[in-house]
């Protein structure tokens, strides 16, 4: 999509019933609550509207710092019991995420291995990230994304979720490498920003612990990155603004990558 001489890439997956998602979260549903003709105004006008039901971690979304705890504590040593209310979390919820408009770096690990899609269950290592970053500078406060090519499999739900074969993603070593760069947020294409080993499911999520609990770094998941990977884009302006749902542990987002006309 072009706009005023700039190329805009939509990095959100389309949301529809039956789309791939983690079994840990309630499924997305949308139905027309009112159809045209159900109610007709005196001037002949009519309106349709829908009812939407979704979890905060369904589709392309941002994890809030309240999403994960470890040994009973949230980021900064906060006790979740003191922050939990009937309306969600009084602190560390997704409404505390400040909208981000700034530099983003995309590390194409799939290209490092000369493949459009990394194998299922592959662990992205620090060496992979180092190789992918050899021609681009990562600055403190950037958003850093890890390209695996996995968004190409969006229309194969069972394979995308990786229930049997697993999902490629960063392991603990790679998470430490990312942490050293002091990013504003990290993200990728998969259902969880983790290596999911074959047959393991979401039994353990150490990268979530490292990023959300230990470092206070938000995570973006299920991003649509394959168009940027095909264009060999490594840095761009990112607009990241999840829905400000008060007290929620995560929320849908429609990230936009913007490249100047010259760069695109």
Q: How far apart are CA 24 and CA 37, in angstroms?
A: 38
Give residue-wise pLDDT tens across range 172-201: 999 999 999 999 999 999 999 999 988 766
pLDDT at 202 over 60: yes
| Average confidence (pLDDT) over 238-255 | 98
User: Which tokens belong to 60?
Assistant: 């392309």
Q: Given this model, what pLDDT does residue 5 score?
A: 74
Report domain extents, the chain.
2-14+57-259
Q: What percentage of residues in the chain have a pLDDT greater than 70?
A: 95
- What does pLDDT average to over the chain? 94
Identify the CA nearest to 167 among candidates 133, 120, 129, 209.
120
Phi-psi region at 162: left, alpha or beta (left = phi > 0; alpha = psi -120 to 50): left
pLDDT band at residue 263, thresholds of 50, 70 and 90?
A: low
Q: What percentage of residues in the chain have a pLDDT greater than 90?
A: 91
CB atoms within 10 A of CB 263: 13
Give residue-wise pLDDT tens across range 22-31: 888 999 999 9
Encode burial over 161-197: b for 16+ CB neighbours within 10 A, e otherwise.
bbeebbbbbbbbebbebbbebebbbbbbbbbbbbbbb
pLDDT at 262 over 70: no
Residues, the chain: 264
pLDDT band at residue 264, thresholds of 50, 70 and 90?
A: very low
User: Which tokens belong to 67?
Assistant: 């999403």
Give residue-wise pLDDT tens across range 223-236: 999 999 999 999 99
3-class secondary-structure state, position 58: coil
Q: Given this model, what pLDDT does residue 1 score?
A: 61
Of the two residues 203 and 73, the one the predictor is more confident about is: 73
Pairing of strands 143-147, 185-188: parallel
Q: Quickly list H helices, the chain.
A: 80-83, 109-112, 126-132, 157-161, 172-180, 206-208, 226-230
pTM for this one? 0.93
Assign domain 2-14+57-259 to a CATH class: alpha beta
| Average confidence (pLDDT) over 211-216 | 97
- Which residues partner with 104 through β-bridges? 143, 236
Catalogue the E-assigned strands of the chain.
2-3, 6-10, 29-34, 49-53, 61-63, 84-85, 88-89, 100-108, 123-124, 143-147, 169-170, 185-188, 218-221, 235-240, 250-252, 256-259
pLDDT at 133 over 80: yes
């Amino acid at each position: 999509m072009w706009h005023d001489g700039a190329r805009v890439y939509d990095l959100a997956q389309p949301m529809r019933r039956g789309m791939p998602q983690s079994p840990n979260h309630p499924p997305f549903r949308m139905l027309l609550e009112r159809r045209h003709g159900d109610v007709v105004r005196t001037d002949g006008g009519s309106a349709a509207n829908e009812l939407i039901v979704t979890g905060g971690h369904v589709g392309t979304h941002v994890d809030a710092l309240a999403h994960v705890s470890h040994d009973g504590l949230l980021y900064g040593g906060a006790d979740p019991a003191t922050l939990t209310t009937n309306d969600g979390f009084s602190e560390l919820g997704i409404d505390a995420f400040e909208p981000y408009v700034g530099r983003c770096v995309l590390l194409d690990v799939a290209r490092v291995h000369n493949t459009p899609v990394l194998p299922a269950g592959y662990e992205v290592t620090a060496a992979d990230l180092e190789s992918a970053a050899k021609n681009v500078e990562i600055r403190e406060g950037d958003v850093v994304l890890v390209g695996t090519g996995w968004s190409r499999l969006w229309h194969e739900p069972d394979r995308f979720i990786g229930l049997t074969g697993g999902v490629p993603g960063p392991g603990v070593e790679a998470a430490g490498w990312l942490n050293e760069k002091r990013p504003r947020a990290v993200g990728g294409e998969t259902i969880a920003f983790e290596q999911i080993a074959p047959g393991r499911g979401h039994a353990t999520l150490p990268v979530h612990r490292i990023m959300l609990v230990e470092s206070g770094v938000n995570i973006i998941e299920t991003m649509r990155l394959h168009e940027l990977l095909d264009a060999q884009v490594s840095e761009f302006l990112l607009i990241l603004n999840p829905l400000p749902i008060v007290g929620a542990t995560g929320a849908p987002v429609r990230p936009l990558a913007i490249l100047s006309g010259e760069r695109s």
